[in-house]
Amino acid sequence: MCGIVGYVGSREAAPIIVEGLKRLEYRGYDSAGLAVQRGGRIVTLKKVGKVSHLESALPAGAITGSVGMGHTRWATHGEPSEVNAHPHLDCSGSIAVIHNGVIENYSSLKKKLIAGGHQFLSETDTEVLSHLIEELHKAGGGLEQAVRKALHQVKGTYGIVVMSSHEPRKLIVARKGSPLVIGFGEGEYLIASDPSALIRHTRKVTYMEDGEYAVISAEGISTKTLDDVTIQKSVEELSFELDQIERGGFEHFMLKEIHEQPETIRNALRGRLQVEEGEVKLGGLEQMREKLISARRIILLGCGTSWHAGLVGEYMLEQIAGIPTEVEYASEFRYRSPVIQQGDVVIAISQSGETADTLAALREAKAKGATVLGIVNVVGSTIARETQGGVYIHAGPEIGVASTKAFTSQLTVLALVTLMVARAKGLLHVDYKLLMKELDALPEKVGKVLDGAARIREIAGELKNARNFLYLGRGANFPVALEGALKLKEISYIHAEGYPAAEMKHGPIALIDEHMPVVCIVPKDAIYEKVMSNVQEVKARRGRILAVANEDDDDIGHLAEFVIRVPRTFGFFGPILNVIPLQLLAYYIAVARGTNVDQPRNLAKSVTVE
C-alpha cells in the first residue's frame, strides 16, 4: 500500500527521502509528497503521479534541511490530487502528518473540529490527524503528548509520522495495523514502511509493534506504549542484499522474479529437505510440531495469490497427510463468527506478512484458542511475530506487484510441511525418498520450463488482442488455473476467469467461440483422460486452445492450437511447474499491450488496509 520514508540526522533529508520513496514504488501509489523542516517552518511539495515527478519539481536549494518525511499515496478517501496527497498540515502550517491506513471515525472527528473553527482542505481521512494534534497541542504538554492523546481518540489503522515546527529537530512515529520500521545509522535515523527503503543506508533496524510510538531526534530515540510506558526495543539485522531489489539487467522486476524461481525454490528447500537422511526439518515448527501432526483440522488463511497457494495446500494436506483442511479468504473469515475448536491449527499465508485481512483473521483465530502458524516471506513481519511458529519461504524481496516467486515458494513450503506430517503419521502410500527426490529436482525442472520462454513470448504475440480468457484445470491444478487468470488480469487488464475444467459445462461453455482463448492445464496424471474430455468439448466449439502439457504427451497436439511443454513430476508438485508458463504468458501479453507490468493500475503490493 502507501509508502513512508522519514529522516533525522545531519545530511540533506530531501534526496534521501526521494531515493527511499523510489524504493517503495512497487507498493502501488498515485501521488507523492514530502515535507522538510527549514528555517523554523515546514516546507512541503506534493505531486500527482510518479516519484520522478516529485523529484523533477524539487526547486534547487529551496527544500533543504536535515529533518523530513515523504509519502507515496494510494487513494482511499478522495481522488488522486495534489490537495489529497500527503503530507497534510494543520491550520497554522506548523504540524505535518503522513499516514498509512484508514481512520474509521474521521467523519465524526472532522465535524467536531470544524465546529471548533478548523478548516480542512482535502477529502482525506488523514487530515483529521493533523488538526486533532493541533487542537490537543494548544492545551500544552508538547508535541509528544498531543500525538499520544490524539491516537487515543482515533479508530482504525495507522502508521504515521508527525513533525512540527514547534519542535523542529524531531519526528514522532506510531503504529497500529500498518507496518513501520526504524533504521539506525551513524548519527542518524531513518523511518520507513518497508525495510527496502533503508537498506542503502543501514542494516540495523527495529520494528514498531501495534500500540507503540517513538520520539526520534538526532540525539536518540525513545519508544513508549500509548499508555506512556517506556519500552526497550531490540535491534535486528536486515538479511537481504541491495542487489536483490535491483532489476539486474531484466526489463522488469516481474521477469527477474520469474527467472529467479529455480533459486528461490532451492532456497525454500535448503537445509530442510534432507534427502540422504530421509528427513524434513522445519525448525520454525519444531515447538508446534506435535500440535500440527495431531491437528483435528487445519485452516489455511490467505488473500489473492496466497489463497490460491492454500487451495493447492489443501489437496496436499488432505490427500497425503490425511488432515481435514479448509481454505478461507482471510478477508471474510472473521465476519461470519468462525467456529474454532480445540485441536484446530490455523496457518496464515502471506508474502509480506503484513496483509491487513490475514492479520485480522489470524488474531481472531488466536483469540478463539486455535494454534496459529505462519508461512511468510518477509523476516520480522507482523504475522511472523504474532504466530506461535511457522516457516519463512526465503524468496527474497519481491518487488513486482504481481506475485510470482512467492507463490512457488509457498507451494514448496506447503509440500515440505505435508511430507513432514505425513511421515510422522505413517500415512505415506508412496516411497518417501522418491517424493523427496522429486521435490529436490524441482528447481532444475523449473529452469527447463524457463528455457522455453521464447516460445511463450511468440504465443503471447498471437493472443495479445483477445478480450477474454478462460483457464481450466482439475484437481490441484484448478488453483493454478485461478492463479494464471489472476496474473493475466492484474497486469494486462484482460478479463480472465479460472474454472475447474468440469464446471465449464455449467455456464462458461456458453462463452466459447473462435475468438476465445482457453488455457488448459493437462498434466498426465490420474485425471488426465477426464481433462482431455473437457479439452475436446472446447475444441468442438472452436475455442483457441493453449495447453500446458507434459513433454511425453503425444495426443494433446492434435487438439490444441498452442502447446507449452513442462517436465513430469509427482502430481501434487505439478502446480509448481505448471504455473511458470502462465506467469510468462501473462508477462509477455502485458508487455505486448504496453502496460506497466511492475506497477499495474489500482493495485498495491501489500494490502495493509481493509
E-strand ranges in 352-414 read 371-376, 390-392
The rounded distance, in Å, linking the Cα atoms of 606 and 357 is 11
Label residue 430 by pLDDT band (50, 70, 90): low
Which helix (H) or strand (E) element contains residue 103? strand 95-103
Amino acid occupying residue 207: Y
Question: What's the mean per-residue pLDDT of the chain?
Answer: 92
Average pLDDT, integer, range 505-512:
83
445 classed as catalytic = no
| Predicted pLDDT at 77 | 84
Q: The cell 471515525 sits on which residue?
A: 105
| Predicted pLDDT at 245 | 67
Amino acid occupying residue 596: N
DSSP designation for 525: S
Label residue 432 by pLDDT band (50, 70, 90): confident
pLDDT tens digit sequence for 52-93: 999 998 876 668 899 999 999 988 888 989 999 999 999 999
Higher per-residue pLDDT: 449 or 571: 449
Strands 297-302 and 67-73: unpaired
Q: Which CATH superfamily is domain 3-238 in?
A: Aminohydrolase, N-terminal nucleophile (Ntn) domain (3.60.20.10)
Average pLDDT, integer, range 511-520:
91
For residue 608, pLDDT beyond 60: no
Give the number of residues written for the chain. Answer: 610
| Predicted pLDDT at 364 | 93
Inter-residue contact 488 to 494 (CB < 8 Å): yes
For residue 499, pLDDT beyond 80: yes
Can you read off the three cell numbers belonging to residue 26? Answer: 512497487
Label residue 1 by pLDDT band (50, 70, 90): low
Inter-residue contact 500 to 519 (CB < 8 Å): no
Full-model pTM: 0.78
Q: What share of the chain is helix, strand, coil (3-state, %, to 5)?
A: 40, 25, 35
pLDDT tens digit sequence for 556-565: 999 999 999 9
For residue 606, pLDDT beyond 70: no
| Predicted pLDDT at 158 | 93
520 classed as catalytic = no
User: What is the CB-side half-sphere exposure of residue 394 using CA atoms within 13 A?
Assistant: 16
pLDDT tens digit sequence for 113-156: 999 999 999 999 999 999 999 999 998 889 999 999 999 999 99
The rounded distance, in Å, linking the Cα atoms of 190 and 320 is 47
Roughly what angle, to the nearest 10 degrees, separates helices 127-137 and 142-153? 130
Where does the chain hold its CATH 3.60.20.10 domain(s)? Answer: 3-238
Average pLDDT, integer, range 413-421:
95
Given CA atoms 65, 69, 74, 80 in this order, what sign does their dihedral have? Answer: negative
The rounded distance, in Å, linking the Cα atoms of 563 and 456 is 9
Domain 253-440 has CATH 3.30.1330.100: no
Label residue 428 by pLDDT band (50, 70, 90): low
Nearest alpha-carbon partner for 533 in 581, 474, 463: 474
| Predicted pLDDT at 429 | 62
Catalytic option among 2, 405, 489, 539: 2
The rounded distance, in Å, linking the Cα atoms of 70 and 192 is 9
For residue 609, pLDDT beyond 60: no
Residues 540, 486, 411, 261, Cα dihedral to 10°: 100
Inter-residue contact 276 to 377 (CB < 8 Å): no
| Predicted pLDDT at 196 | 85
Which helix (H) or strand (E) element contains residue 186? none
Higher per-residue pLDDT: 399 or 591: 591
pLDDT tens digit sequence for 534-543: 888 888 888 8
Enter the CATH code of domain 450-596.
3.40.50.10490
The rounded distance, in Å, linking the Cα atoms of 487 and 406 is 13
Where does the chain hold its CATH 3.40.50.10490 domain(s)? Answer: 253-440, 450-596
> What is the 3-class SS of 13-78, one letter each residue?
HHHHHHHHHHHCHHHCCCEEEEEEEECCEEEEEEEECCHHHHHHHCCCCCCCCCEEEEEEECCCCC
Nearest alpha-carbon partner for 563 in 512, 523, 510, 533: 523
Helices (H), 117-240: 127-137, 142-153
The CA-based angle 392-395-397, given to 5 degrees, is 110
Residue % of the chain over a pLDDT of 70: 97
The rounded distance, in Å, linking the Cα atoms of 132 and 115 is 12
Average pLDDT, integer, range 389-412:
93
pLDDT tens digit sequence for 301-359: 999 999 999 999 999 999 999 999 999 999 999 888 889 998 999 999 999 898 889 99
Can you read off the three cell numbers belonging to residue 13? Answer: 533529508
For residue 501, pLDDT beyond 90: no
The rounded distance, in Å, linking the Cα atoms of 134 and 147 is 9
| Predicted pLDDT at 299 | 97
Least confident stretch, 203-207, 312-316, 548-552, 604-608: 604-608
